[in-house]
Amino acid sequence: MHLLSGHDFWDMLHYNFYYEHPWFIESRSSRINPKRDWYVWRDGQPGGLRPNNWESIFNGSAWEYDKETDQYYLHLFSRKMPDVNWECPELRQELYKVTRWWLDRGIDGFRIDAISHIKKKPGLPDLPNPKQLEFVSSFDYHMNVEGIEEFLTEFKRETFSDHDIVTIGEANGVSADQAVDWVDEKTGTFNMIFQFEATNLWDKTLGALDVLALKRIITRWEKSLEKTGWNALFLENHDKPRIVSTWGDDKEYWRDSATSFATVYMLMMGTPFVYQGQEIGMTNV
C-alpha cells in the first residue's frame, strides 16, 4: 500500500455482490449448501406469487426466481446484485474478516456502500398497498430499520475500532437528528456518512433549485452535527447527475454555476468529496 506516498481509501461492498460471486454461486447451488443462508431466500406465495410485494430500488420486483432450487432471492437493487443476509452470523463474520484483511495491509479508510439497508423489517411482510399496485416502494421496510444499530456496533467492534482510519457510511434514509448516533465522536460507528436529503431535492423539483429548501437542509445538518460529529459534503456522484446541468446553467453561465456551487460546499463544515470531472465543472452529456 501507499506506493505513491498518498492515502488509500477503498469502496467496500458489504451489502450486495455480483451474482457471479463464488459465495452466491455456492448459495444458489442447493437449499442445503452451507452458504445458503448467506443470502435472503424465500418460498413464493400460493398461486405463483412472489414472497412479498416489495419493489426494487431499480424498479420491478425485489425478488428473482431461481428455478434450480425453486425459491426466490432478494435483490433490493439489480437482480444481478443479490442482498447478503446480515441476519446470518457466519456471513457477518466473513465480512468482518475481509475488512480486517484490508486493515492489516495498511488501508487508510473506506466507504461502506448502502450500509443503511442491511437491516430488513422482521418477517419481510407485505407493505400496505391501498392503491393496489403490483409492487410497492419498499424503503420503509429496509432503510435504517430499527435494530440496525446492533449490526453497526458489532461491525465496528469486530473490525476497525482500534484502527486510526477514516470511515464513511453511505446512509440513505438517515435524518440529521439520527445522524448523531451514526457519527458521534465517541459512540458513533463512522466518522462521516453520505446523506441524500439535499441532492434528493433535484428529484422533487424536476431540476429547478429550491434555494430556500436547500438552505434549510444544509443548516439543519450543520447544526445537528456541529458539536459531536462531522459532515461528508458532496453535490454529485455516480448516482446523481452533474450539478451544473441540474441546478445550474451549463451553457451561458456554466463557469459561474460551477464556481458558485463549489464555493457553497467547500466553505461548509465537513469534508468535501469531489466526483471525478466535477473539479472542471463537467456537465451532463
Give the global pTM.
0.92
170 is annotated as an active-site residue: yes
Same domain, 60 and 159: no
Same domain, 117 and 46: no
Indicate which CATH number applies to the domain containing 120: 3.20.20.80
- 182 belongs to a structural domain: yes
Q: Which of 275, 227, 278, 230 is nearest to 257 (CA)?
A: 278
Per the residue annotation, which of 55, 83, 170, 197 is the catalytic one?
170
- 250 belongs to a structural domain: yes
Q: Which of 103-117, 202-216, 223-237 has the lowest mean pLDDT?
A: 202-216
- 285 belongs to a structural domain: no
- 2 belongs to a structural domain: no
Same domain, 45 and 129: no
Same domain, 264 and 193: yes
Same domain, 56 and 127: no
CA atoms within 13 A on the CB side of 51: 18
Same domain, 255 and 154: yes
- 195 belongs to a structural domain: yes
pLDDT digits (tens, 9 = 90+) for 15-58: 999 999 999 999 999 999 999 999 999 999 999 999 999 999 99
Distances (CA, A) of 220 to 108, 110, 191, 231: 30, 26, 18, 11
Let me know the angle formed at the C-alpha of 108 by 104 and 112, rounded to the nearest 5 degrees.
Answer: 95
pLDDT digits (tens, 9 = 90+) for 164-190: 999 999 999 999 999 999 999 989 999
Same domain, 233 and 104: yes
Same domain, 147 and 257: yes
Same domain, 244 and 128: yes
113 is annotated as an active-site residue: yes
The per-residue pLDDT for 132 is 97
- 3 belongs to a structural domain: no
> Which amino acid, one-letter code, is at 53?
N
The per-residue pLDDT for 199 is 84
Indicate which CATH number applies to the domain containing 62: 3.90.400.10
Q: Would the pLDDT of 6 be above 80?
A: no
Same domain, 164 and 189: yes
- 56 belongs to a structural domain: yes
- 122 belongs to a structural domain: yes
Of the pLDDT bands very low, low, confident and very high (cuts 50, 70, 90), residue 10 is: confident
- For the chain, state the CA radius of gyration: 21
Q: Would the pLDDT of 209 be above 90?
A: no
pLDDT digits (tens, 9 = 90+) for 81-103: 999 999 999 999 999 999 999 99
Q: Would the pLDDT of 127 be above 80?
A: yes
Per the residue annotation, which of 87, 94, 108, 113 is the catalytic one?
113
Q: Would the pLDDT of 2 be above 70?
A: no
The per-residue pLDDT for 200 is 83
Report the C-alpha gap between 162 and 87 in whole angstroms. 25
User: What integer is the mean pLDDT of 110-131?
Assistant: 97
The per-residue pLDDT for 285 is 84
pLDDT digits (tens, 9 = 90+) for 222-269: 999 998 999 999 999 988 889 999 889 999 999 999 999 999 989 999
Residue 43: give the domain boundaries.
Answer: 22-74
The per-residue pLDDT for 205 is 57
Task: State the total domains in the chain.
Answer: 2
Same domain, 157 and 232: yes
Same domain, 62 and 98: no
